[in-house]
Amino acid sequence: MNSVCRNLETQYRTKDGTLRWGLLSVSAFEMNGVPSILSFTRDITDDKRAAERLAKIREALRVSEQRYHTVFQTSLDAISINRIDDGSFIDCNKAFLDTLGYERDEVIGRTSQELESGRMNATGRP
């Protein structure tokens, strides 16, 4: 008769009718010949709500990143993103590459001074 159920997510209602989420663990056993059940429920309502909020935020971020990527890559204006500390290119769009005549691997990780000085060998490396 020793049966066990662990970490079952389930909903339950409180005395005032509020719907909550619980993590339920149950063990069936005999105690002094009497069939008994020991159960533990941990309230995980706040955890579930936080997970739902996080999922919504992640989806909003994904949509925002997709929108940014589309606008950035399809813009007719030459756009680049550079590091503040050393000025090296982090990203650039197709219009930037087309305007300056470089390939992507010739630009990313370099500075505009490196590109302008012509310090590039035949492989496109400074």
Residue 1: what pLDDT? 55
The whole-number average pLDDT for the span 113-117 is 85
Q: Is residue 82 part of a domain?
A: yes
Mean of the pLDDT values across residues 97-121? Answer: 86
- State residue 5's pLDDT score: 87
Q: Which of 2, 4, 1, 14 is nearest to 40 (CA)?
A: 4
Q: What is the pLDDT of residues 57-78, one digit of tens each?
A: 999 999 999 999 999 999 999 9
Tell me the residue range of the domain where 85 lies.
Answer: 75-117
Percent of the chain at pLDDT > 70 equals: 91
Q: How far is CA 67 from the centre of its chain?
A: 16
**For the chain, how many structural domains are there in total?**
2
**pLDDT tens, position by position, 12-67:** 999 999 999 999 999 998 899 999 999 999 999 999 999 999 999 999 999 999 99
Question: Regarding beta strands 34-43 and 80-82, do their DSSP bridges make them parallel or antiparallel, or are they unpaired?
Answer: unpaired
Amino acid at 108: I
Report yes or no on 38 lying in a domain.
yes
Q: Coil, strand or helix: which one is 101?
A: coil
